[in-house]
Structure 1
Amino acid sequence: MSEQDDLVLYEVDADGVATLTFNRPERKNAWNIPMEERFFAILDRAAADPDVRALIVTGAGTAFCPGMDMQRLERNSQPGQTLNLKDRTPMYGRRLLPKPMIAAINGGCAGIGLIQALMCDVRFAARGARFTTAFTRRGLAGEYNMPYVLPRVIGLENALDLLLSGRTFDADEAKSLGLVSRVVEPADLLDAARAYAGDIARNCSPRAMAVMRQQVYGDLDRNFDDALSRSYSVMEYFAGSPDFREGVESFTQKRPPKFEGLPPDFDPLDAVADPFLPG
């Protein structure tokens, strides 16, 4: 294993739950470019693996990810420095990864680390974990599209509060704002996230979850009628499908379902394609 491989650990359990762990505990898992490259490469690997049905993202030690490594920020803040994003991995390139992502936020979560949590579909937080958008307190405006994403998660005023003030808030407030859905004791965090991920990995159709994820994110900025038309396309796509038959039969026979894994070439857009609508 190379030094870069150590920056994000990767393991897959018997249920098909992949756990990705930011692993720079000596720097509180502060983000740097090698960790970024490793993280997105593992996401691509998990997306292509039919045995992986759900993903958990967490951090080693006592932090999730407190943002960009301060050593890099210090270099970038010097006069004459410019920011080159051209060679960076697109931050939201994996937003429509066709598998559910669960964040297990075990500690400090800020800036670009908060972006990684927001990329996940469901967020668990350890009681006592602390959050901040941070940008304005570092002399920065909203980076990596957070001013677009955050209001869609917690509402306009709550998002403006957190973005303008850059204040720190804890896991319980994060839950009250709707930023996380579960707050659990630190010792129970990973077990709780794995129990949730394991349940959906065992009992939910990978194809249905991939399409559902595409529906939700894809329809955020569509009008009602366009979204409804896409929903009809989805209904037609799954009607009579092997997954639908298995879902019904497993229910009537009172047994666990046996859904096939997601093929590497599966495209959820095929299910929502509507000949009368663009993409």
Structure 2
Amino acid sequence: MSEETQDDLVLYEVDEDGVATLTLNRPERKNAWSIPMENRFFALLDEAAQDPAVRAVIVTGAGRAFCPGMDMQRLEQNSQPGQSLNLRARVPMYSRRTLPKPVIAAINGACAGIGLVQALICDVRFAARGARFTTAFTRRGLAGEYNLPYVLPRVVGLENALDLLLSGRVVDADEAKELRLVSRVVEPDQLLDAARAYARDIARNCSPRALAVVRHQVYGDLDRTFTDALARSYSAMEFFAGSPDFREGVASFVEKREPKFEGLPPDFDPADATRDAFLPY
């Protein structure tokens, strides 16, 4: 079996606290993105979504890089005259944005192009000091790919997004934090520990149903009006009022103990919490 079809292109482990870690695992290619890696990566995200034992997900890279973008060998093939790009045969890049569990990026090194897209799909981003970021597209003769011209302004603001997209310049982790591209910068040898501590705190103390609904609310409300989002919020409030999770959350606070929330059932649909949106006035 060739390297490009092996399951170890992305490693997967779940710890006792319910934190799943996905590790991009082509260190000899600095974890450059390939289609087999893409298929494996999204299949594992699906597995994490369906596993009630998993409460949070970390995405990181093996070795010294996170993901520097699409494998240059594939880029060279696609750049030849007469070559076409068959995106219809690919996994839709943002199809897992509806994953009902928090996703945390632990960016350990170079993060560019489609690698930056994967980092931005995550909800929270930790970066190792010294990690380097670039959109890279204009420097490869490409337009803004994979919807980054839409996503990036919503993360870093319009001018910062234009700066990064137009120039394709490289920024280090500390500047990335100033630009709001990442929220935490830690020393390289502390990166995974910091990301895991954050994920484990969520896994131990937060209701999986509430996490799923909050993630659904935030991403779903990005393009809604204030009034529509408010109506969905009231519906979610009604959904959780008197629920077992709410009762356990209050009881654990009063009793000064960790809550014992049930895992997320595979068939749980966070849209149910906001489906009958209403305003009480």
When the two structures are superposed, what TM-score results if normalisation uses the length of structure 2? 0.97
- Residue segments in structure 2 that go unaligned for 5+ positions in a row: none
Query: Number of matched residues?
Result: 277
**Cα drift, residue 89 of structure 1:** 0.4
Confirm or deny that 1:195 pairs with 2:181: no
Superposition map of 1:90-101 within 5 A: 90-101=92-103
Opposite residue 108 of structure 2, the aligned amino acid is N
Superposition map of 1:198-277 within 5 A: 198-274=200-276
Matched residue, 1:128? 130
CA contact (8 A) 2:234 2:277 kept: no
Listed one character per residue, the Cα deviations across residues 229-270 of structure 1 (whole Å, up to 9, x for unaligned) are: 000000000000000000000000011100000000000000
Confirm or deny that 1:155 pairs with 2:157: yes
CA contact (8 A) 2:101 2:212 kept: yes
Opposite residue 79 of structure 1, the aligned amino acid is P
**Cα drift, residue 176 of structure 1:** 0.4
Matched residue, 2:34? 32
Superposition map of 1:73-152 within 5 A: 73-152=75-154
What secondary structure sits across from 1:9 in the alignment? strand
Which piece of structure 1 moves more, 252-261 or 3-12? Answer: 3-12
Matched residue, 1:66? 68
- RMSD over aligned CA atoms reads 1.2
**Cα drift, residue 274 of structure 1:** 2.4
- Supply the distance in 1 between the matched residues of 2:142 and 2:170 (Cα, whole angstroms): 16
What secondary structure sits across from 2:100 in the alignment? coil
**Cα drift, residue 96 of structure 1:** 1.1
Listed one character per residue, the Cα deviations across residues 42-76 of structure 1 (whole Å, up to 9, x for unaligned) are: 00000000000000000000000000000000000
- Residue segments in structure 1 that go unaligned for 5+ positions in a row: none
- Supply the distance in 1 between the matched residues of 2:8 and 2:236 (Cα, whole angstroms): 41
Identity of aligned residues (%): 83
Listed one character per residue, the Cα deviations across residues 148-184 of structure 1 (whole Å, up to 9, x for unaligned) are: 0000000000000000000000000000011100000
What secondary structure sits across from 1:222 in the alignment? coil
What secondary structure sits across from 1:67 in the alignment? coil
Misfit runs of 4+, over 4 Å = none
What secondary structure sits across from 2:95 in the alignment? coil
Matched residue, 1:22? 24
